[in-house]
Amino acid sequence: MNAPIAPQLLSNPLLDMWDTPFGLPPFARIDAAHFAPAFEVAMGRHRAEVDAIAHAAEPPSFANTVVALDQSGRLLSRVSLLFDNLCSSETSPVLQEVERDMAQPLAAHYNAIYLDAALFARIDAVHAARATLGLDAEQVRLVERVHLDFVRSGANLSGVARARYAAITERLAALTTLFAQNVLADESGFQLVLRGPAELAGLPPFLVAAAKEAAVERAITDADAHVITLSRSLVVPFLTFSTRRDLREKAYRAWTSRGEGLSGADKANAPLIREIMALRHEQATLLGYPNYAAYATDDTMARSPEAVRGLLDQVWEPAKARMAGERAALQAIADREAPGCAIEAWDWRFYAEKVRHAQYALDDAELKPYFSLDRMVEAAFDCATRLFGLTFTARPDIAAYHPDVRVYEVHAGGKLKAIFLHDNFARPTKRSGAWMSILRSQSNVEGAVVPIVLNNNNFAKGAPTLLSFDDVRTLFHEFGHGLHGMLSNVRYERLAGTSVLRDFVELPSQIFEHWAEEREVLKKHARHVDTGAPIPDALIDRLQAAAKFNQGMETVEYTACTLVDLALHECTEFDDLDIDRFEQEQLARIGMPADVRMRHRLPHFLHLFAGSSYASGYYVYLWAEVLDADAFEAFREAGSSFDPAIAKRLHDCVYSVGNSVEPGATFRAFRGRDPKVEPMLRQRGLM
């Protein structure tokens, strides 16, 4: 079914056979200009493969329709995954132009497949007969998921509705691309330059060193200059330690104004949000849903906005009550140190750190020397070895797309299990946040395909790089996602790794965070960067005692986002949508405390508007926390966080099965029952 590549395009490295180690992309030979022609060829080849499936002379069968479709488009997938990763991790103006230019053609390509009546007729026939075809459970699951993919993409529509659905999808692809680029422009364009002791007042050495590194990276070379960017790993510690309230306010206002056009009025995201929301609502109604929230949650464990709100309601009021007590403790210190200073959002972290130090004799300046990046990477790897038998071998001889990226071979039982790329540092060419992605998915239809998995973090580079404990949790969280991709052991690509329901996908990542807090892990790996001494037991005691500190504020900060997300996607009228007013009205309606903001305001809420994956779905972290808190209790009950029988069950029932099993059944297979909410509430100190 493979169409030949035109001779004039044979020199394009994206279209060549990659004779690189492990089939990694030949990064050094790839230029942004290669992508558009490669996409054209890859889409053409994919279209030809799909046409052959749709118009096959043989009656539709599982093998010639569903499996054939799952195996189609490998060239396009290879090019797209590389392109998407570069656009997120190492972009450029030229690459961003290609991204804008390709958004609509790529959306149109997939529309043509999902709305292909002949193809869907064959899929529908296999789906209708699936119980009579002698399929095993994984094969039935593949048929059901592929069929649902087509239905949720408009395959049952016809005529004008079908054409309109396609147009909406293509326009949304363009808008979400612009949204993400606008946020990156605001993030990379802002810098708070600090000069002299007065502007560095209160900053611990690790932060001064990281700010100096950021200045050098941004070509500000005068000896006195230090830079705070809008990277979370710089701005959050600055808000925590700077004694300059005026500079804290300046940094905080910039940080919470991303997406409002800090880098130019043409980068403001409000008009994009208004159009995105109107199109999403129209998309949902075309498919028979009353609003986008109903559409988005229908294919989740929650199944409805009402079920989501039922969980959020169990958290919101207790979190506000806990936050009130936290505020009183902060204000007491503020009253002593700065009489008349009413706590504002840019003060919260500053005074919270003082309270944490007073109550637990704990602060990041004391902790960070025990959490060097290299040691914490070793810790995550060691936990994966002890739990799942994985070993990680560094390959410094293999170059990736940026010198910061480290490449590893991952083995299990003497066999190559995955290739892992670790990209840990913030830079202006990289979007904010932390995420896991892939360059190649696992599958095993015609021989084992070894996945290529990436983790991206945005730590402030230092010499050495020291992490806060929140950073350590982020490292373990993303590595948990990475393990979900690396340990995948299914036959079909559509079901592999993290291709699970959105409110289940955070379980493998969030449960792995627990090992970062385990005493035996800390004693082994948390060693002082200068002396090599292990972290003292007394410091671990204080760290664990402080685990629930500030959880009221953090839960309020997060849950407000989920409630606003849900309310926005339940709206049905958007002609007069003013996102600032909407935010304010919704926050007033739910009783949001005035001295804390949403973790992500709408203008820079990438989860919602840089794509649709988390739209009306930001709640999934809390939903998965119910699962992960209850799941980790199994290790507690067994008496060891590395109990081999529980670890094997976690591997076999959660990490390796991808989407080959319905997620509720997956959890029950591991835990022996449905999840309970109480462990999550206890974990957050809300009961």
Percent over 70 (pLDDT), the chain: 99
Residue 173 lies in a domain: no
For helices 137-152 and 117-128, angle between their N-to-C axes, nearest 10 degrees: 140
Percent over 90 (pLDDT), the chain: 95
Last residue of a domain, one of 234, 266, 298: 266
464 and 436 assigned to the same domain: yes
Give the strand pairing for 452-459 and 415-425.
Answer: parallel
- Segment 168-194, tens digit of pLDDT: 999 999 999 999 999 999 999 999 999
Q: Report the CATH number at residue 535.
A: 1.10.1370.40
Q: Per-residue pLDDT for 400 more than 50?
A: yes
Mean pLDDT in residue range 342-364: 92
Catalytic residues: 478
The phi-psi region of residue 547 (left if phi > 0; otherwise alpha if psi is between -120 and 50; otherwise beta) is alpha
Q: Report the CATH number at residue 281.
A: 1.10.1370.10
b/e map 574-586, b = 16+ CB within 10 Å: beebebeebbeeb
Provide the H-helix boundaries in 449-595: 469-486, 506-516, 519-525, 537-545, 551-570, 579-590
Element (H, E) at 199: helix 196-199
pTM: 0.94
Task: Residue count of the chain, please give it.
Answer: 687
Residue 181 lies in a domain: no
- Segment 58-100, tens digit of pLDDT: 999 999 999 999 999 999 999 999 999 999 999 999 999 999 9
What is the three-state SS of 144-198? HHHHHHHHHCCCCCCHHHHHHHHHHHHHHHHHHHHHHHHHHHHHHHCCEEEEHHH
CB 205 within 8 A of CB 363: no
Residue 387 lies in a domain: yes
Provide the H-helix boundaries in 228-347: 232-241, 245-255, 270-286, 292-298, 305-337
**Dist. CA 527–CA 536, nearest whole Å:** 9
321 and 225 assigned to the same domain: no
Last residue of a domain, one of 266, 287, 319: 266
- Segment 640-668, tens digit of pLDDT: 999 999 999 999 999 999 999 999 999 99
Q: Per-residue pLDDT for 386 more than 90?
A: yes
143 and 197 assigned to the same domain: no
Neighbouring C-alpha atoms within 13 Å toward the C-beta of 51: 10
Range of the domain at 670: 369-549+621-683
Residue 442 lies in a domain: yes
Last residue of a domain, one of 600, 618, 636: 618
Instruction: Please name the amino acid found at residue 33.
Output: A
Structure tokens at 575: 């002609």
Question: Is 492 exposed, middle or buried, given 0-12, 13-18 or 19+ CB atoms closer than 10 A?
Answer: buried
Q: Per-residue pLDDT for 2 more than 60?
A: no
Q: Per-residue pLDDT for 4 more than 80?
A: no
Mean pLDDT in residue range 190-215: 95
Can you give the pLDDT at residue 211?
Answer: 95
How many domains, in total, are found in the chain?
Answer: 4
544 and 654 assigned to the same domain: yes
565 and 545 assigned to the same domain: no
Residue 175 lies in a domain: no
336 and 398 assigned to the same domain: no
Residue 170 lies in a domain: no
397 and 521 assigned to the same domain: yes
Can you give the pLDDT at residue 10?
Answer: 55
Residue 165 lies in a domain: no
Mean pLDDT in residue range 674-684: 95
Residue 23 lies in a domain: yes
578 and 484 assigned to the same domain: no
Structure tokens at 365: 């300046």
281 and 335 assigned to the same domain: yes
Task: Kindly state the DSSP code that residue 132 receives in the 8-state scheme.
Answer: G
345 and 383 assigned to the same domain: no
The partner residues of 1 in beta bridges, in order of sequence, read none
CB 642 within 8 A of CB 330: no
123 and 204 assigned to the same domain: no
114 and 69 assigned to the same domain: yes
